[in-house]
Amino acid sequence: MSQSHFFAHLSRLKLINRWPLMRNVRTENVSEHSLQVAMVAHALAAIKNRKFGGQVNAERIALLAMYHDASEVLTGDLPTPVKYFNSQIAQEYKAIEKIAQQKLVDMVPDELRDIFEPLIDEHHYSEEEQSIVKQADALCAYLKCLEELSAGNNEFLLAKGRLERPWHRGAARRWITLCKCSSQASSCRWTKLARIRRCKVLAGRRLCSTRPEYLKTETVPGSAGRRPPSPVW
C-alpha cells in the first residue's frame, strides 16, 4: 500500500474550531461535531425506518455524517454569514468544497479509494441521504446554541433564530421522536427541543404557530433582505 497523508489530514480536524465569529463558553471543533452529527444522523435514519416505514441504510448515513465536514481540514470552517453573503459567494464556496473533497479523495491509497470516495464526495449521496445528514447537522448546531444560551451566552440568540426555520413534516416528526427517545428528564435539552417543536403541523406552512420577534427582521448583512438558505428537509 502506498504512503498516504489522508488519515494525517483527518486527524487535524480536531484543530479546526467551529463558530469562529462567536464568543464560545466552550469551544467546539470539527472532529467532535462530526461524531455528534454521525450519532444523530444514525438515530434519525433508524427512527425513519422503524417508525415511519423508511428504507434507508442507517449505517451508511452514519458514515456519511462522520465525513460530511472532512473537506474543512483544507478549507477551514467558513462562517455562515460569509458563506451565504450572496448567491455568487455561496456558489463559489460550493465549488471550493468540491475541489477540497477531490483533493482528499486523491490522498486515499488506491487500494482503499473505492471505499472512501463514496463517503467524502457528495456526488455519491442520494437526495434522501443528504437530507438526513443535513437534518442532523442542523440539529447539532441547534443543540450547540441551546448549550451556549443555557450558559448565559446570548451571542448565540441570532444563530438559534436562523435555525428555527420551516420544517418538512416528516423530518419534524422524526426529530420529536428522537427527542422523546433520548431522555426522560424534563430538564434535558433534548426534551426542550421536543417541547419547542410540539406545535401545529399544517401542509405548506411552518411547523410552529409562533415565531420569535427578532426573526421577523434579522437578516444577513448585504444580502438584500435574504436569510441564509435553510437545510433541505
Is 106 assigned to a binding site? no
Which structural domains are found in the chain, ordered by start? Answer: 6-216 (1.10.3210.10)
Cα–Cα distance for residue pair 148/140, rounded to 1 Å: 12
Q: Residue 115, Cα to own-chain centre: how many angstroms?
A: 23
Q: Is 114 annotated as a binding residue?
A: no
Cβ contacts of 110 within 8 Å, gap of 6 or more: 2
- Residue 19, annotated ligand binder? yes
For residue range 108-157, list pLDDT tens digits in order.
Answer: 999 999 999 999 998 899 999 999 999 999 999 999 999 999 999 999 99
Name the range with the highest mean pLDDT among 95-99, 160-164, 179-183, 209-213: 95-99
Annotated binding-site residue? 77: yes
Neighbours of 152 (CB within 10 A): 7
> Are 79 and 20 spatial neighbours (Cβ–Cβ below 8 Å)?
yes
Q: Using a pLDDT cut of 90, give the percent of the chain over it.
A: 56
- Band the pLDDT of 3: cuts 50, 70, 90: confident
Q: Determine which of 43-52, 100-109, 134-143, 201-210 has the lowest per-residue pLDDT on average.
A: 201-210
Answer whether residue 174 shows pLDDT above 90: no
167 is in an annotated binding site: no
Residue scoring higher pLDDT (156 or 177) = 156
The least confident of 8-12, 64-68, 120-124, 223-227 is 223-227
Tell me: is residue 121 an annotated ligand-binding position: no
Q: What is the mean pLDDT of residues 88-112?
A: 93
> Do 2 and 109 touch, CB atoms closer than 8 A?
yes
Is 168 annotated as a binding-site member?
no
Residue 78 annotated as binding site: yes
User: What are the CB-based long-range contacts (under 8 Å, 24+) for 24-33?
Assistant: 24/148, 24/153, 25/147, 25/148, 25/151, 25/152, 25/153, 26/147, 26/148, 26/151, 28/144, 30/69, 30/72, 30/73, 30/77, 33/69, 33/140
Q: List Cβ neighbours of 55 (8 Å cut-off, separation of 6 or more).
A: 49
227 class by beta-carbon count within 10 Å (0-12 exposed, 13-18 middle, 19+ buried): middle
How far is Cα 155 from Cα 21, in angstroms, rounded to an integer? 10
68 is in an annotated binding site: yes
